[in-house]
Structure 1
Amino acid sequence: MSLRITVVGGGIIGLTTACTILKDYSSYPQLQLVIISERFSPDTTADVSAGYWEPYGLETIDERTLRWAGYTYDVFMSEFFSTKAARAGIMKVPAYTLYGYNGQNKGKNTLKPTFSTLVRHFRMLDECEMSIFDHLKPTSGFVMSTIAVEVRCYLHEVRRFLGQDPRVKFIHKRISSFQELTDQTDLIVNCTGLGARQLANDHTVRPARGQIIRVQAPWIKAVYNFDTDEGEGYIIPQMNCVVLGGTFQLNDWNTATVKSDTKKILRMCSKCLPALEQIHHGKVQVGLRPYRDDGVRLEHEKTSDGMDIVHCYGHSGSGVTLSWGCARDVVEIIKTLVPIVESEQSKSETGMPLHEQLWRLVEYKNTNHLRSKV
């Protein structure tokens, strides 16, 4: 049985979807899985992000969104407690979120966020813990255990895994219309993010410009989200740097760095952690988040010319947070179009941890061995 599936989009949504397809359709020896993208890592929007797990930049967080986020959280957390953590750039970190600044907005945001039941070690901050941040004078806050993913490392390892399977092919190419693929595939998965504005003719998709600074600040080991008199700031550690942010500028297509934004980010972050005032050098980056007015679009479309397209785009600033959960739902839709024929191979893998079923580390041929001096 042959099955040709084309995933359009090579970011975190496209590659996690490709992995899930490969897992669930492993019994198809004639599977042809093609991933087409104008950009692959390290040039995707996700590569700019801090890879922080928390639903962010979405107009509403409904039950479906929480299901996607919870599944993804569990995958990342299990990967942290596995051999994948170092090479895939997965860190488990405490995250503090502080509401209000200088005593303003008192009484607001005192309820637990809707995602609080999905994470480990969640608690609202008591008065003693709030006093630690007295220089900000927040009015309420919470702390939880979450995941920060070095997306550049993660996508590199996932792509290496996919590339080991002869049924998977990567094509570095820009397509202007899905009709270009009519005779080349049986089914299309649209993971084009902001590109869906043109490809899916969806003008509810628009950019939410994000500018960040990657700095060397090795003393920072926790995430901080906080309010200031200039807006919301965040500080997110990664394996080899710390991400300072940020901006969320709707309808701004500018991919060039803006000096005034850089200065503002540094001012905001220094209000939370004053030692950052000493930072004078960093890598400033810009990414355009794929914001969508109606939230994530994840559904099947049968076009007028008979093409089957499963859309999965509009994740805004939550691409990493929703990635594996959305990928699972995409494949559930595909199963209604192409039922799975189980094999002994697929059955034998069910005893493996879920994250290992989704993708595995591919060993480098040249391994460096530690040697002790005698």
Structure 2
Amino acid sequence: MSEQMIVLGGGVIGLTTAVVLAESGRQVSVWSRDPVGETTSAVAGALWWPYRIEPAGLVGEWALASLRVYEEMAADPGRTGVRLVEGLQSGIRLSELGPWAAEVDGLRQSAQGVHARIPLIDMPVHLAWLRERLEAAGGTVERRALDASPHSPLRSTRGGPWSDAPVVVNCTGLGARTLVPDAGMRPVRGQLVVVENPGVTEWYTSVDHSSSDTTYFFPQPYGLLLGGTAQDDDWDLTPDPRVAEEIVARCALVRPEIAGARVLAHRVGLRPVRDAGVRIEAEATASGGLLVHNYGHGGAGVTVAWGCAREAAALAASRTPLR
């Protein structure tokens, strides 16, 4: 058998997993339906913080492993897209957070909430850098349509010989709903507005879990990213002008100068939530290969990317020799 591995999905989970595999000496090709810069990951606000992700007992370890990597990347933000930025998680208390919080330097309580200096990532830059890092390690990225037909990669690996690749790693996010198929996968719609930054240097979040409305703003190099929404089971990728106005208004209640900021862009992304939580596991295929799953990261794909990638890569790498 060839040593070739196929990673399905060109978002942050797929690319990070492919980088871990390629840098361990495996021959890796990423198959992505969309260009890397047009995946769901490219739309993400990308603040490191465990949000809308299960299972709680595993998330902390994955998130902390990723945090350590991002802290190193922050030494070169122009290349990696990763910066350490101060901000406020409004309306929460340290005592409400999981055990992982004790391992995050600088978390501190105030009357307003929890303050932190944590990674904030410019996703278009970061995704491009991950691709460059993958290619430097000998990996490749290919545009390939992934569908749910009987000839789709996942179904073919189960039903008979598909390719010379002994290992397929499924990092398709919401696409796993039809590719696997996994009926537990569902979208949580997030709408954002990008405005000219009127001078905001710190991030801010306030989440009401009883509502589909959220309030946050992240200062990115390309502008101030305003959010947001968390609309369950909503597949609509078209920005809603009324919702956009409400997002700007909520953010302006926190920082009034936002109200007059010029709008640069509207964005919509679908968080890939899985009812049973993140799936990282391997199964044998009918053709004698291995299918490794790494999907269902909800609203925290960036937050857990490296921790999950290492776990999935360990499963995949156990079946193939080094080059």
CA shift, 1:67, in A, is: 0.8
2:165 and 2:247 map into 1 onto residues whose CA distance is 45
Give runs of ≥4 in structure 1 deviating > 4 Å: 227-230
Q: Does 1:225 find its partner at 2:205? A: yes
Which of these residues, 32, 38, 52, is aligned with residue 37 of structure 1?
A: 32
Q: How many percent identity over aligned positions?
A: 31
Letter in 1 for 2:118: T
Aligned residues: 311
Q: Deviations over 1:286-339 (max 9, x none)?
A: 011111111110110113453411100001110110101111101211233235
Which of these residues, 38, 60, 70, is aligned with residue 66 of structure 1?
A: 60
For residue 317 of structure 1, give the secondary structure of its aligned residue in structure 2. coil
Deviates more, 1:156-165 or 1:116-125: 156-165
Which of these residues, 272, 275, 298, is aligned with residue 254 of structure 2?
A: 272
CA shift, 1:245, in A, is: 0.2
Counterparts of residues 109-124 of structure 1 (less than 5 Å): 111-114=95-98, 115-124=100-109
* Aligned equivalent of 1:144: 116
Report the RMSD for the aligned CA atoms in angstroms: 2.1
Contact 1:119–1:145 (Cα < 8 Å) also in 2 = no
Q: Does 1:192 find its partner at 2:164? A: no
Q: Does 1:7 find its partner at 2:29? A: no
* Aligned equivalent of 1:156: 128
Cα 1:186–1:245 shift into 2, 3 Å: same
Cα 1:21–1:272 shift into 2, 3 Å: same
Contact 1:211–1:247 (Cα < 8 Å) also in 2 = yes
1:329 and 1:298 map into 2 onto residues whose CA distance is 8
Segments of structure 2 that go 5 or more residues without pairing to the other structure are none
* Aligned equivalent of 1:346: none
For residue 337 of structure 1, give the secondary structure of its aligned residue in structure 2. coil
1:171 and 1:280 map into 2 onto residues whose CA distance is 37
Contact 1:208–1:251 (Cα < 8 Å) also in 2 = yes
Higher Cα Rg, which structure: 1
For residue 261 of structure 1, give the secondary structure of its aligned residue in structure 2. helix
Which of these residues, 239, 250, 258, is aligned with residue 232 of structure 2?
A: 250
For residue 145 of structure 2, give the secondary structure of its aligned residue in structure 1. coil
Letter in 2 for 1:117: A
Q: Deviations over 1:150-194 (max 9, x none)?
A: 0100111121232245x4232201122224561231100000000
Which of these residues, 256, 270, 273, is aligned with residue 291 of structure 1?
A: 273
For residue 288 of structure 2, give the secondary structure of its aligned residue in structure 1. coil
Letter in 2 for 1:47: A
Letter in 2 for 1:37: S
Give the TM-score of the pair, scaled to structure 2.
Answer: 0.90
1:5 and 1:94 map into 2 onto residues whose CA distance is 39
Which of these residues, 57, 69, 73, is aligned with residue 79 of structure 1?
A: 73
For residue 35 of structure 1, give the secondary structure of its aligned residue in structure 2. strand
2:94 and 2:205 map into 1 onto residues whose CA distance is 15
Q: Does 1:313 find its partner at 2:305? A: no
Q: Deviations over 1:11-55 (max 9, x none)?
A: 10011111100111x2xxxx5311101012210111111111001
